[in-house]
């Protein structure tokens, strides 16, 4: 039997709701084939959730220095992370308030389908909650280049790579993919 992996790092859940006293396993709307779970993210991947709920977004970031040079060339940046949202979401990004719930690591195990994500199959009570009012400032303080673009689709094609980590979230909410030109 394989040993159970337990996180010793902080684990978080982000929500627009400041009143959650207990997280109960559920099937996510965006992934209905998953068994019920409580979902958490580790500290290194937490910036993937510094966005308003349902905001379509792209993230690409290097795992180590070896990937950085190619990443800099591909994204025309010196940043280690690039996030992007559509311009239609900028006002919501400016005004959204999120709540970062810190969760106890003991009941969680790594979710094999995505780096930095953890799941628990039992109810979990948060240890603390922190209000996050300025999502743009969070990105700036973390040295994340945040791009605001008319459409995410061209950047999505660039982001998907084995050469660095990437995340495409809520793309069903993005503006329709433009027609492909010959």
Structural contact between residues 78 and 72, judged by C-beta atoms closer than 8 angstroms? yes
pLDDT of residue 31: 83
pLDDT of residue 22: 98
The list of the chain residues with pLDDT below 50 reads 1-3
pTM recorded for the entire structure: 0.89
Residues 153-172, buried b or exposed e (16+ Cβ, 10 A)?
bebbeebeeeebbbbbbbee
Structural contact between residues 33 and 70, judged by C-beta atoms closer than 8 angstroms? no
pLDDT of residue 4: 52
């Amino acid at each position: 039997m394989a040993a159970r992996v337990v996180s010793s790092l902080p684990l978080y859940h982000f929500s627009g709701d400041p009143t959650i006293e207990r997280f109960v396993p559920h099937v996510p709307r965006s992934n209905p084939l998953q068994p019920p779970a409580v979902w958490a993210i580790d500290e290194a991947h937490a910036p993937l959730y510094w966005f308003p709920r349902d905001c379509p977004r792209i993230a690409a970031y290097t795992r180590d220095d070896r990937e950085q040079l190619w990443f800099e060339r591909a994204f025309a940046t010196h940043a280690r992370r690039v996030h992007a949202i559509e311009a239609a979401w900028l006002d919501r990004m400016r005004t959204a308030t999120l709540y970062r719930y810190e969760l106890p690591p003991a009941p969680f195990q790594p979710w094999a389908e995505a780096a930095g994500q953890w799941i628990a199959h039992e109810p979990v009570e948060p240890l603390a909650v922190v209000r996050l009012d300025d999502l743009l400032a969070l990105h700036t303080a973390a040295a994340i280049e945040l791009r605001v673009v008319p459409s995410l689709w061209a950047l999505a094609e660039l982001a998907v790579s084995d050469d660095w980590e990437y995340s495409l979230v809520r793309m069903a909410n993005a503006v329709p993919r433009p027609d492909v030109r010959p």
